[in-house]
Amino acid sequence: MNHPDILLSRLAGVKPSGDGCWLARCPAHEDRDPSLSIRLNPDGRVLVNCFAGCCADDIMESVGLHTSDLYPEAPGKAYGAPVVLSWSRTTISTPERRAARLERTLRAFRAGSVPASDADDMDVYAMTYVELCLAEMARRKPLDPNSPAMLKLCKEWLIVRGLTKQPEVTL
């Protein structure tokens, strides 16, 4: 899909919201008001963001498409299996799905099949998640039961990306 027409034709309540931008009702959840933003990026990628928190995988699956359909067909570009991320917010519906997405992305990155822009988004997500957990702990609020596993994955991501070092712990 080089242009979002296929996706837009499968969505309800589509309204233009600027040049190469649209709003629509999200098919991945019960949506009365448009909460799905669709944007055609200059590089040909179609970006989707549900303000209610649905992930791109769920959105695309709901309309019978795949996340790979969001990427342009570009001969000579070796993206491998595309990984579509929305890490600027915690947009993945459940803690289990967030952990699964993080693990898949980590495996894909090690295999060299994560586009640089997605890896950068993942860097921001991992650092933000760690900062949010630290802020919660500073306020003496209990962390989500899945936080230790997520923090471990974030730590592994940041080490693999070279953004932090493996701590040397001696007891």
Q: pLDDT digit string (tens) for 89-111?
A: 334 445 666 666 677 777 777 77
Question: How many structural domains does the chain have?
Answer: 2
Considering the domain architecture, whether residues 71 and 28 belong to the same structural domain is answered as yes
Q: What is the pLDDT of residue 151?
A: 85
35 within a domain of the structure (yes/no)? yes
Considering the domain architecture, whether residues 5 and 19 belong to the same structural domain is answered as yes
Considering the domain architecture, whether residues 60 and 12 belong to the same structural domain is answered as yes
Last residue of a domain, one of 42, 77, 112: 77
The domain containing residue 120 runs over which residues? 83-162
Going across the sheet that includes 36-40, the strands are 12-18, 21-25, 36-40, 46-50
Last residue of a domain, one of 58, 77, 96: 77
Considering the domain architecture, whether residues 26 and 53 belong to the same structural domain is answered as yes
Q: What is the pLDDT of residue 50?
A: 86
Backbone angles phi, psi at 4, to 5 degrees: -75, 10
Positions of the chain with pLDDT under 50: 1-2, 74-93
CA 74: distance to chain centroid? 21
Considering the domain architecture, whether residues 41 and 69 belong to the same structural domain is answered as yes
Considering the domain architecture, whether residues 59 and 106 belong to the same structural domain is answered as no
Task: Give the C-alpha separation, 154 to 43, whole Å.
Answer: 28
Q: What is the pLDDT of residue 94?
A: 58
CA-nearest of 3, 4, 45 to 23 is 4
Q: What is the pLDDT of residue 82?
A: 40
Q: What is the pLDDT of residue 3?
A: 64
107 within a domain of the structure (yes/no)? yes
Q: With contact defined as beta carbons under 8 Å apart, do 55 and 93 qualify?
A: yes
